[in-house]
Amino acid sequence: MTLPDGVERRDFGDESALATRGEPAYGEPVVDGWRRWDAHRSKLGATLELGVDTGLAGGDSVLYLGAANGTTVSHVADFAGPTYAVEFAPRPVRDLLDVAEARTNLFPLLKDARKPETYAHVVESELDAIVQDVATRGQADVALANRQFLADDGRFVGAVKARSEDVTRDPGDVFEDVLDRLRDGYEVLATERLEPYHEDHLAVVATPK
């Protein structure tokens, strides 16, 4: 398993789990300053748990799309450098602001990930990574629209939710369509279904063309 610097496997009682060092954010278990990163609550956590080489590294500059309440992005900010967290819904952003209080490198943005022009003046260019977890139709389009922020050797690490694209079609067919669209601007390096942690989700690692 290839983990970013700052992410380790630690023991929590009788169980071993991924963890990052930082202030607790959502009631997760903490042992000796290490916060449990529950793969059942985090698509990125599941991606790492399944051994996918994401290419993420400690100190990376990150644009996180679909930050919600901050569960996953809090762990990302624990090991990364500047972390820009985009979330569209005002209610989760209130929780995200609380998470950011203990993390000076975490910058919440109440914005729509489908409209990167609305935050392009805030987010630095040549980022090391984009992490995406948006529950919307057109997930590949979101990734392509935000590709402008990535360095040439940067990484896109996303979780494609089949049911957000089309609840009536076979998830495998949906994933193929999303990957085909994604290849308009990215080279896909790895994919992995996220079962048993998340049903009908596909992890994708890519780099810009």
Binding site as annotated, residues for S-adenosyl-L-methionine: 71-72, 87-88, 112-113, 133-136
> Rounded CA gap, 73 and 167, in Å?
27
Q: Which residues fall within 8 angstroms of residue 79, CB to CB, at 6 or more apart? A: 4, 5, 6, 7, 20, 56, 58, 59
Tokens of 123: 């987010």
User: 3-state class of 35 per DSSP?
Assistant: strand
Annotated binding site, which residues? 71-72, 87-88, 112-113, 133-136
**Which amino acid does the sequence have at 52?**
V
Distance of CA 114 to the CA centre of its chain: 16
> Rounded CA gap, 65 and 79, in Å?
17
What backbone torsions phi and psi does residue 7 show, to the nearest 5 degrees? -115, 125
